[in-house]
């Protein structure tokens, strides 16, 4: 059998021309892609194929592309043609929508000419179906992200609780449009007795799942906070909850408690970033220890530490999106935040905004950012008169109760409380002291505190048994004290203290001043 001629199969119906025998124009006229050939620095049109004419209409050859091929000018291809002529290298412009409503990818390739100014072959592929599919995918991703952002924001506090003794502001900014939403959260929880819990955390992972886990942890943190436990015990409970939610899901968290009588933040950290505190002189301190592993790892005993928060101080709790950058050491980001905090003055919201701006966080930031700023104001003048403290050490014995009543009466009179509130405060003092004398152990202490909104009466002793409200039978000789306090006060509560004792407190709301 004779060998087949190049370009055709053996036994074919007729001779098939070799590739170098095919007329180039005939080939270009038949390809489905759009083809145009332009010459020289003004890109004069030398040729357009049938597919190009079908898409954009007939074109005059010999005219500059700016006039003869206006669609290329509208798509910004003319500067690209200049680059191709200068560099002698092909360039591609991906997925541009043309005037015919379809999308094309344009490839511009230099064509060598003997003694000429050079030519460029413009090759456009119709990618409309691919572009529309990509846009549908992007639209689906946008909807999913919007759902996650909506869920995330709905699970964050809509209005921050504002304690009497602190001024607080927070901000949350999701990652840019190309980043999936994370699980950053924060919260402010009023514990009663003048104390406030502050929480910030970050669930690892992205999307709706991370936001949902965040919501469950935030709800759990609020529930555990109501038990008024030390911070490390709250983290122990949250660790167990995180494991139950999803054994493969972990989260970092800081839980801190502020007591205005102590001037400190007592906190515990589960793998989270250190709290920063700026004192009234602008010196910034970092709360480094103690730090345990993230929530959800299990088997770790967390511990509590403390950092000073004196009047005039500002504290910042934040998530890693504020300080972590690719190819940069995390500690450098924290150090930069310390420098920014040292010079940040103003209200908590102003400080919040300044810290976010100083960190370079923009709308297209690649990670979620949550920041919680709290200030312990230094109160002076008339404002200082509204925040007062008075304390009395109780030695026990039959004289303790009348001495406590006399002390409370004198203090409340000096604070110019109305008669009704004065009498209620003295009665609450009497019942709480009597309860401590009967069921507690020394040392005992009475503390009265007033703010611009409430009166707080608190009694501490050395016994850790927490009282509870119960119904006393007519024949019972005791059991009515806490019931009386619960009836006359706005709210009451109790907690164990770090020294192994307990504190029992109640609050009375102050009448609003007349306008």
CATH number for 497: 3.30.565.10
CB 307 within 8 A of CB 287: yes
Residues 363 and 387 in one domain: no
Residues 476 and 338 in one domain: no
Which of these three, 342, 376, 410, is where a domain ends? 376
pLDDT of residue 412: 96
Task: Per residue of the chain (515 residues), give pLDDT as tens.
Answer: 344 434 444 444 556 555 455 566 777 777 788 888 888 888 888 888 888 888 888 877 778 888 888 888 888 888 888 888 888 889 888 888 887 788 889 999 998 766 667 888 888 888 888 888 888 888 877 777 677 667 667 777 778 888 999 999 999 887 765 545 668 899 999 998 999 999 999 988 777 778 788 889 999 999 999 999 999 999 999 999 999 988 888 899 999 999 998 889 999 999 999 999 999 999 999 998 778 899 988 777 889 999 999 999 999 999 998 998 877 888 999 999 999 999 998 999 999 999 999 988 876 777 888 999 999 998 887 777 889 999 999 987 778 899 999 999 999 999 999 999 999 999 999 999 999 998 889 999 999 999 999 999 999 999 999 987 766 555 444 567 888 999 999 999 999 998 889 999 999 999 876 55
**Half-sphere exposure for 438 (CA within 13 Å, toward CB):** 14
SS3 per residue for 268-335 = EEECCCCEEEECCCCCEEEECCCEECCECCCCCCCCCEEEECCCCEEEEEECHHHCCCCCCCHHHHHH
CATH number at residue 98: 3.30.450.20
- Which residues touch 311 (CB under 8 Å, ≥6 apart)? 263, 280, 376, 377, 378, 379
Residues 368 and 387 in one domain: no
Q: Say if 14 falls within a structural domain.
A: no
Q: Say if 168 falls within a structural domain.
A: yes
Cα 467 off chain centre by: 39
481-488 vs 419-439: helix crossing angle, rounded to 10: 150
Residues 187 and 253 in one domain: yes
Look at the chain and report how many structural domains it folds into.
3
pLDDT of residue 16: 54
Cα 470 off chain centre by: 43
Note the residue count of the chain: 515
207-225 vs 128-155: helix crossing angle, rounded to 10: 0
Residues 183 and 245 in one domain: yes
* DSSP states of 182-240: -EEEEEEEEEETTEEEEEEEEESS-HHHHHHHHHHHHHHHHHHHTTT--HHHHHHHHHH
pLDDT of residue 177: 53
Q: Measured at the alpha carbon of residue 388, what is the angle toward residues 385 and 389, in degrees to the nearest 5?
A: 165
Residues 31 and 109 in one domain: yes
Q: Say if 145 falls within a structural domain.
A: no
Residues 183 and 302 in one domain: yes
Q: Say if 493 falls within a structural domain.
A: yes
Residues 427 and 318 in one domain: no
CB 187 within 8 A of CB 254: no
CB 164 within 8 A of CB 451: yes
Residues 356 and 212 in one domain: yes
Residues 262 and 171 in one domain: yes
Which of these three, 126, 159, 190, is where a domain ends? 126
CATH number at residue 287: 3.60.40.10
pLDDT of residue 176: 60
**Cis preceding-peptide flag for 154 (omega within 30 of 0):** no
Q: Burial, 463: exposed, middle or buried (Cβ in 10 Å; 0-12, 13-18, 19+)?
A: middle
Question: In this structure, what token pair is assigned to residue 290?
Answer: 């103690």
Which of these three, 326, 345, 376, is where a domain ends? 376
231-245 vs 207-225: helix crossing angle, rounded to 10: 140
Q: Say if 108 falls within a structural domain.
A: yes
Q: What is the pTM of this model?
A: 0.72
Q: Which of 88, 92, 91 is nearest to 111 (CA)?
A: 88
Q: Say if 143 falls within a structural domain.
A: no
Please give the residue range of the domain that contains residue 431.
381-509
pLDDT of residue 478: 56
Q: Say if 411 falls within a structural domain.
A: yes
- DSSP run (H or E) holding 414: helix 400-414
Residues 189 and 87 in one domain: no
pLDDT of residue 347: 94
Residues 161 and 277 in one domain: yes
Q: Say if 230 falls within a structural domain.
A: yes
């Amino acid at each position: 059998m004779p060998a087949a001629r190049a370009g055709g199969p053996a036994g074919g119906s007729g001779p098939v021309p070799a590739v170098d025998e095919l007329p180039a124009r005939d080939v270009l006229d038949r390809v489905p892609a759009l083809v145009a050939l332009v010459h020289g620095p003004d890109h004069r049109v030398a040729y357009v194929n049938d597919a190009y004419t079908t898409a954009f209409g007939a074109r005059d050859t010999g005219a500059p592309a700016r006039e003869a091929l206006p669609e290329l000018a509208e798509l910004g291809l003319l500067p690209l043609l200049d680059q191709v002529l200068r560099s002698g290298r092909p360039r591609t412009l991906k997925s541009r929508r043309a005037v015919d409503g379809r999308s094309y990818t344009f490839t511009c390739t230099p064509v060598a000419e003997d003694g000429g100014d050079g030519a460029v072959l413009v090759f456009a592929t119709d990618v409309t179906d691919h572009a529309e599919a990509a846009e549908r995918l992007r639209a689906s991703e946008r909807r999913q992200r919007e759902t996650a952002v909506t869920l995330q924001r709905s699970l964050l506090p809509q209005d921050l609780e504002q304690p009497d003794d602190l001024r607080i502001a927070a901000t949350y900014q999701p990652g840019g449009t190309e980043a999936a939403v994370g699980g950053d959260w924060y919260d402010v929880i009023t514990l009663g007795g003048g104390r406030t819990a502050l929480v910030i955390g970050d669930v690892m992972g992205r999307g709706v799942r991370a936001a949902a886990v965040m919501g469950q942890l935030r709800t759990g943190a609020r529930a555990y906070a109501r038990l008024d436990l030390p911070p490390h015990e709250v983290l122990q409970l949250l660790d167990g909850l995180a494991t139950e939610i999803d054994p493969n899901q972990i989260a970092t968290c800081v839980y801190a408690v502020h007591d205005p009588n102590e001037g400190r933040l007592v906190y515990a950290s589960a793998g989270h970033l250190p709290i920063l505190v700026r004192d009234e002189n602008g010196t910034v301190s970092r709360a480094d220890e103690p730090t345990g592993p993230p929530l959800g790892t299990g088997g770790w005993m967390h511990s509590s530490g403390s950092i000073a928060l004196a009047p005039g101080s500002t504290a910042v709790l934040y998530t890693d999106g504020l300080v972590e950058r690719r190819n940069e050491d995390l500690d450098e980001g924290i150090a930069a935040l310390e420098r920014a905090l040292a010079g940040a003055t103003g209200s908590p919201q102003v400080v919040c905004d300044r810290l976010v701006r100083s960190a370079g966080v923009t709308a297209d930031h690649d990670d979620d950012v949550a920041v919680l700023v709290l200030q312990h104001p230094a109160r002076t003048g008339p404002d200082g008169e509204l925040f007062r403290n008075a304390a009395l050490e109780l030695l026990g014995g039959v004289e303790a109760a009348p001495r406590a009543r006399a002390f409370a009466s004198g203090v409340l009179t000096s604070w110019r409380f109305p008669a009704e509130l004065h009498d209620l405060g003295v009665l609450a003092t009497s019942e709480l002291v009597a309860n401590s004398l009967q069921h507690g152990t020394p040392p005992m202490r009475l503390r009265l505190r007033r703010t611009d909104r409430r009166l707080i009466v608190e009694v501490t002793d050395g016994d850790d048994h927490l009282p509870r409200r119960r119904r006393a039978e007519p024949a019972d000789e005791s059991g009515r004290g806490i019931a009386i306090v619960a009836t006359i006060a706005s709210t009451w509560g109790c907690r164990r203290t770090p020294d192994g004792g307990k504190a029992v407190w109640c609050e009375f709301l102050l009448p609003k001043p007349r306008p």
